[in-house]
Every structure is written in structure tokens, then in C-alpha cells.
Amino acid sequence: MDNGLKTGELEPDVAAAHEAFVRRLHGVQARIAQALADAGREATAVQLLAVSKTFNAAAVRELAGCGQRAFGENYVQEALDKQQALCDLPLEWHFIGPIQSNKTRAIAENFSWVHSIDRQKVAERLSAQRPAHLPPLQVCIELNVSGEATKGGVAIAELPALADALSMLPGLQLRGLMAIPAPATDPAIQRAAFRQVRTALESLIARGYALDTLSMGMSADLEAAILEGATIVRVGTALFGERNTHE
Ligand SMILES: *Cc1c(COP(=O)(O)O)cnc(C)c1O
């Protein structure tokens, strides 16, 4: 595997850090490839979104140097700082965290994708604030599949109305659904939650929407998500290591 670097030219600890990123990225790519093979899906059917929240710009640069292009962030100011430090790289930024109304302009101006839309008001602001010289913001509606009132995401019963409203907004292109099911260790339970998301996507498609995105699956459950049709997996820990800040 030629990554363009001769490790002999680097300081030993720099080389070791780089090797660790290469090893973790290849490990995640292998897990994705195996799950796709098990599902009988095409090898290119899943995009890896590297979730870089709490990790610094140097870590993102390291992973970008291994060939990773798409990065997901949860906190607006933290993301803007990293984007500025990395503006020499051709990266694609996805916003995946809870959206406060007063942060919509910064999101509309600085991201390609938003996965976490669960309110019409936020969608309207993002659309109105999307700069005209940029393509429409690519968006997913976040679906609450675990039914926990404290969690983000729209209830399945409210999904058709929100999708109808979003599809009228010129600054947004609705691509599909995102979900963060409650953590479970039993693969059957993981798959049941992801299956609900896929079923909800299929019912929107049956309403006439052209949707192609299921953003689901993280470090601990990406196999189950891929078996249920995920097209984007959002992976943090398995790429960057453990986060030491509390969320
Ligand atoms: C942090 C986060 C992830 C990544 O989680 P890991 O378990 O570290 O892979 C994915 N999606 C969202 C919305 C997150 O907040």
C-alpha cells in the first residue's frame, strides 16, 4: 500500500502516528467492505463519513492524508475553526449535530451536507441563508427511532409533513434520512432499529420523493446498518480513537 510517504523520512513518532491512522482507516474500510459483501451489495454502495468532533485540525489533516475526504462535525464553532485551518485541503464537510436557530447561517454558508434536520423552522432558515453561488444544501431528516423524548429527531408520524415542507425549499435538496438509534449490543436489536429507518425511507419514496441516502451506523453498529441499507456510515471512535471529552 503506497500512501505517498516514505516513513523513513519522518520523525519516528510522527511516522508512528501516521501508521496508526492508516491502520484504523483500513480497518474501518475492511469492516465496511465485509458488511457490504455479506449484504450482497455493491462494494461502492457506502460512503464513509469521518466524525472528527473533539479531534483537532492536525488529526483531520492526518486522516485526509490517508485519502479520507468527507468529515462530520457536531459543533459549529469547533467546525469553523477546523475548516479555516484546513482550507488548503479539498474536504467535504457534513453537519451532524443538533441545530440551534442562531447557528443556521454559519451552517448554511460552510457545509455541503446537514444530516440532523428535525424542525421546519430550522429548514426554512437554512434554505433562506444558503448562498446563491453554492449548490443547494444536501440534507437528511433525522428520524427518532428509539422514541426517547429527550433525543433529537422527528417522530415517524411527523415525517411525511416535514418532508413535504422541506421539498418546497429551494436552498435545500432532500436526500434521505439519518438516525442515531439507542445503543444496543444485540445485532438483532440494532438491525430492527435500522430497518425502521429504511422502511420510513421506502414509504417516502412511495410518496414520490427521489431519495437515495440512509445516514446510519457508527463505530459500534455499522455492520448492522449496512445490512439494513445504510449508504453513509458516520464513524468517529474507530477512526480517531476514544474521545476524552464528555458529550
Ligand atoms: C459522535 C457521532 C458519531 C460517531 O460516533 P462513534 O461512536 O464515535 O463512531 C456519529 N454520528 C453522530 C451524530 C455523532 O454525534
Give residue limits of the domains in the chain.
12-240
Nearest atom in ligand 1 to 234's CA: 10
Nearest atom in ligand 1 to 237's CA: 8
- C-alpha of 31 from chain center: 17
Quote the ligand 1 centre to 137 CA distance (angstroms): 21
Q: Is the distance from CB of 19 to CB of 65 less than 8 angstroms?
A: no
51 lines ligand 1 (CB under 6 A): yes
C-alpha 200/C-alpha 196 separation (Å) is: 6
C-alpha 84/C-alpha 93 separation (Å) is: 12
Lowest mean pLDDT among 10-14, 133-137, 180-184: 10-14
Taking residues 129-149, report their average pLDDT.
91
Hey, which of 75, 215, 218 would you mutate to test ligand 1's pocket, going by the most ligand atoms within 8 Å of its Cβ?
218
The residue whose C-alpha atom lies closest to atom 6 belonging to ligand 1 is 236
> Tell me, what DSSP letter sits at residue 188?
H
The model carries a pTM of: 0.94
pLDDT, tens digit, 9 for 90 and up, residues 79-116? 999 999 999 999 999 999 999 999 999 999 999 999 99
> Tell me, what DSSP letter sits at residue 220?
T
C-alpha 209/C-alpha 168 separation (Å) is: 12
C-alpha 118/C-alpha 160 separation (Å) is: 12
CATH code for the structural domain at 12-240: 3.20.20.10
Taking residues 53-69, report their average pLDDT.
96
C-alpha 162/C-alpha 155 separation (Å) is: 10
241 lines ligand 1 (CB under 6 A): no
pLDDT, tens digit, 9 for 90 and up, residues 152-180? 899 999 999 999 999 999 999 999 999 99
Does the pLDDT value for residue 10 go beyond 70? no
C-alpha 55/C-alpha 46 separation (Å) is: 24
Give the per-residue pLDDT at 114.
98
> Tell me, what DSSP letter sits at residue 74?
S
Taking residues 176-189, report their average pLDDT.
95
218 lines ligand 1 (CB under 6 A): yes
C-alpha 197/C-alpha 233 separation (Å) is: 14
Quote the ligand 1 centre to 172 CA distance (angstroms): 24
